[in-house]
Amino acid sequence: MPASIDDIPMTAGIFERKPLKLIIFDFDGTLVDSRSLILESHRIVFSEFQLPAPSSADSLALVGKSLDVILTQLAGPSAPILEMVRAYDLLLPQLRADSAFAEKPFDGVGDLLAELSSASDTVLGLATGHRTDTIAPALAELRWTDFFKTIQAADTAPSKPHPAMLLQALAATGVIPEHAMFIGDTTFDMEMAQAAGLRSIGVGWGYHQTERLAATGAHRIVQSVDQLRDCIRTALSE
């Protein structure tokens, strides 16, 4: 199965579309490493509710979906999901204040976002499994808030892989699917992009294996931020 930018041939009718007007990013696993934050929050909250903690593999396999969906799958439908979500809400600011658990940008991502956000005819968007009130502090801490013209979150759309987040981002910016791109690290991201009619790039440093990204519709897979920059530049120049 192809696993790198060089192994996946250009798909006719996908990367030839132009001009590229909107680039939408996933957050966890694509822009930031949130592995420690996710695993520690699961450990604490499941312990608080006297539930067996999920394995790291099970926890990370669901990253990208909305929190209530994740908890239902990990703890079961009979678990007190709403109470667990509230516990996460209280815990999240505490963990983010600890450098051992706070989200950490992948090397080069901040520079890439700054570069792309300065382009005169292309805007950036974000589509995340976080709610608006939990993604906003993270973006503010990273000083990324102004990079994104549209932010689609779990409280404004169904969970990934439903395409609503991307469709709402298109509507908010007045861009048609043929002129937009989505970049993510999970199969949920690739399926969402495919359902919305967007070209997609899968990143190889996140939570799902690249073979799975290719199998679920990624039109490109990149293994570094430099490769991602080159791929985006190619799309912008077409």
Q: Is residue 187 part of a domain?
A: yes
pLDDT of residue 10: 41
Write the CB contacts of 225 (distance below 8 Å, at least 6 apart in sequence): 106, 107, 108, 109, 112
pLDDT of residue 35: 97
Note whether 62 and 161 are same-domain residues: no
Q: How far is 122 from 237, CA to CA, in rounded Å? A: 12
Note whether 136 and 46 are same-domain residues: no
Which of 96, 112, 128 is the last residue before a domain boundary?
96
Note whether 190 and 135 are same-domain residues: yes
Query: Which positions of the chain have pLDDT values less than 50?
Result: 1-13
Q: Is residue 154 part of a domain?
A: yes
Burial class (CB in 10 A: 0-12, 13-18, 19+), 221: buried
Which of 53, 71, 96 is the last residue before a domain boundary?
96
Kindly report the pTM of this predicted structure.
Answer: 0.91
Q: Is residue 17 part of a domain?
A: no
Per-chain mean pLDDT for the chain: 93
Enclosing domain of residue 205: 22-33+103-237
Q: How many domains does the chain have?
A: 2
Write the CB contacts of 218 (distance below 8 Å, at least 6 apart in sequence): 8, 190, 200, 201, 202
How is residue 201 written in tokens? 């790039």
Note whether 58 and 163 are same-domain residues: no
* Structure letter (DSSP) for residue 175: -
Tens digit of pLDDT for each residue in 217-226?
A: 999 999 999 9
pLDDT of residue 19: 85
